[in-house]
Amino acid sequence: MNVRAHIIVRGMVQGVGFRWFTAREAQKLGLAGFVRNLAEGSVEVEAEGERGAVEGLIALLKVGPRAADVRDVHITWQQPLMERMRFEIR
């Protein structure tokens, strides 16, 4: 079953390779969507695909790359769009 999650990751998540980490892991899991930095210092992720794969990405985002310090991950589950074919960095 496909799902879509809108995720906001807060903490020390910019300038530490977080977007590249997220894109690489999402691509490995076969997910579509995007990752981008937000002006206030958090990272926004939208991931769509098999529920288990999306949940796997969320588990990885809670840890992040080595240099990151993840303090909070907020997840909003949404209806899948099925419009995207790949995962991109914005």
Token couple for 13? 């998540």
Q: What is the pLDDT of residue 42?
A: 97
pTM for this one? 0.93
**Does the residue 17 lie in any domain?**
yes
The answer to the question of residue 89 being in a domain is: no
Q: Which amino acid is at 19?
A: R
pLDDT of residue 20: 97
Q: Is 77 helix (H, G, I), strand (E, B) or coil?
A: strand
User: Which one of 19, 36, 51, 84 is the catalytic residue?
Assistant: 19
Task: Name the active-site residue from 2, 10, 24, 37.
Answer: 37
Token pair of 11, please? Answer: 């903490």
Q: Is residue 55 part of a domain?
A: yes
Whether 2 is catalytic is no
CA distance 87 to 71: 24
CB atoms within 10 A of CB 25: 20
Domain-located, residue 7: yes
Per-residue pLDDT of the chain (90 residues; tens, 9 = 90+): 789 999 999 999 999 999 999 999 999 999 999 999 999 999 999 999 999 999 999 999 999 999 999 999 999 999 888 766 789 999
Whole-number pLDDT of residue 10: 98
The domain that holds 56 is classified in CATH as: 3.30.70.100
Task: Establish whether 19 is a catalytic residue.
Answer: yes
Distance CA 68, CA 1 (A): 31
